[in-house]
Amino acid sequence: MAVELGKTEAEKILFAVDESWLDRRQEEILEPDLPIIDPHHHLWDRGSRYLLDEVLRDIGSGHNVRATVYLQCDSMYRADGDPLMAPLGETEFVNGVAAMSASGAYGPARVCAGIVGFADLTLGDRIDPLLDAHVRASGRFRGVRHCSVWDTDQTIKSTPMDFPKGLLLDARFREGFARLQHYGLSFDSWIYHSQIAELADLASAFPATPIVLDHIGAPLGIGAYAGKREEVFSTWRKNIFDLARRPNAHVKLGGMGMHLFGFDFEHRDMPASSEDLAGAWKPYVESCIEAFGVERCMFESNFPVDKRSCSYAVLWNAYKRLASGCSSSEKAALFFNTAKSVYRLEA
């Protein structure tokens, strides 16, 4: 189990957003009719607030977002009852938001059309009651994310939680992971670039379970990795191509606005333009598409986490710039069809 360390205070530091700063950068929306499924965003009210109103404000900024997928972030766990079932509160909460959106009263986009929640897979087959409850609680429940970020440099923090070394290789974890196939669920993985080989091993061991690598596998650019971008990129790229050899593995193109990538966009006097973002991210996005193909790649917002670096409008403009050389069918995969397929959406 992960150990919680000063969660509320850490979240304020990691996820603080300056809306007035973001508003200083305004851009015309590129390809405004291009349909988008945003396959990765969060909802929370803890130190900062990002709920339906805030999501609607962002996706209403001009891009044609048709649906979104909610990703686990430990929101609204049950305070009472069996601790094992506490994460069910997150699914119940998000399903309520999804139901509001599905009413059509809040616009055409279907927010939280898919839900990825949490289950402690280190509990092995004892996790079955929770997995069953998740599936019964919402017809939108699609998968589980059990974060496992770890690095030898313990000063690198991307979550208020701490995780043990080698979690994806742990026998108890894999016993629980094996239960995902029984429920027809996918697995989202939040790891750093030094851990991608562990995920490749997991994907080989469970070839029938769809696996999604979040945030391109986080090639680190801070702490012990500061000033070593070329070295890290070389290691990361090798691991990405190795992971891509597993046909059940997919990758989300995003998360690069987080501080741990070391681009420092959040520290500029003026927010970066979509050209700036696309220029910095191009080698990573092109490597992922080359390795996985567009059918296993999907652009993501990772909002509100990436909102520290850029607005929703600028972010998706950057992605459209990065895909400018793609055909219409390739764009359809990157912005819509891969997410629709992986998360089995009706959008």
The pLDDT score that the predictor gives to residue 327 is 98
Task: Note whether residue 135 is domain-resident.
Answer: yes
Give the type of residue at 241: F
Number of domains in the chain: 1
Q: Model pTM?
A: 0.95
Contacts for 334 with CB less than 8 Å, ≥ 6 apart = 253, 289, 294, 297, 298, 299, 319, 323, 326
The pLDDT score that the predictor gives to residue 14 is 57
SS3 3: strand
Half-sphere exposure in the Cβ direction for 239 (13 Å, CA): 24
Nearest to 76 by CA among 37, 112, 128: 112
The pLDDT score that the predictor gives to residue 5 is 36
Task: Note whether residue 312 is domain-resident.
Answer: yes
The pLDDT score that the predictor gives to residue 4 is 39
Cα dihedral 210/234/278/70 (nearest 10): 30
Task: Note whether residue 45 is domain-resident.
Answer: yes
- DSSP readout, 238-301? HHHHHHHTSTTEEEEE--TTSGGG---GGGSSSPPPHHHHHHHHHHHHHHHHHHH-GGGEEE--
The pLDDT score that the predictor gives to residue 175 is 98
H helices, E strands: number in the chain: 13, 12
Residue-wise pLDDT for 83-97, tens only, equals 999 999 999 999 999
The pLDDT score that the predictor gives to residue 158 is 87
- DSSP readout, 72-136? ----S--SSS-GGGTTHHHHHHHHHHHHHHHTTTT-SSEEEEEEEE---GGGGGGGHHHHHHHHH
| CATH number, domain with residue 130 | 3.20.20.140
Round to whole Å and give the CA distance between 269 and 236: 30
Q: Which residues of the chain have pLDDT under 70?
A: 1-15, 347
The pLDDT score that the predictor gives to residue 91 is 98
DSSP one-letter code for 192: -
Domain residues for 88? 32-342
The pLDDT score that the predictor gives to residue 9 is 46
The pLDDT score that the predictor gives to residue 329 is 98
Task: Note whether residue 21 is domain-resident.
Answer: no
Cβ atoms of residues 70 and 99 within 8 Å: no
Task: Note whether residue 222 is domain-resident.
Answer: yes
The tokens of 277 are what? 């973002």
Task: Note whether residue 19 is domain-resident.
Answer: no
Task: Note whether residue 134 is domain-resident.
Answer: yes
The pLDDT score that the predictor gives to residue 15 is 66
- DSSP readout, 206-222? -TTS-EEEGGGG----S
Residue-wise pLDDT for 185-221, tens only, equals 999 999 999 999 999 999 999 999 999 999 999 999 9
Task: Note whether residue 39 is domain-resident.
Answer: yes
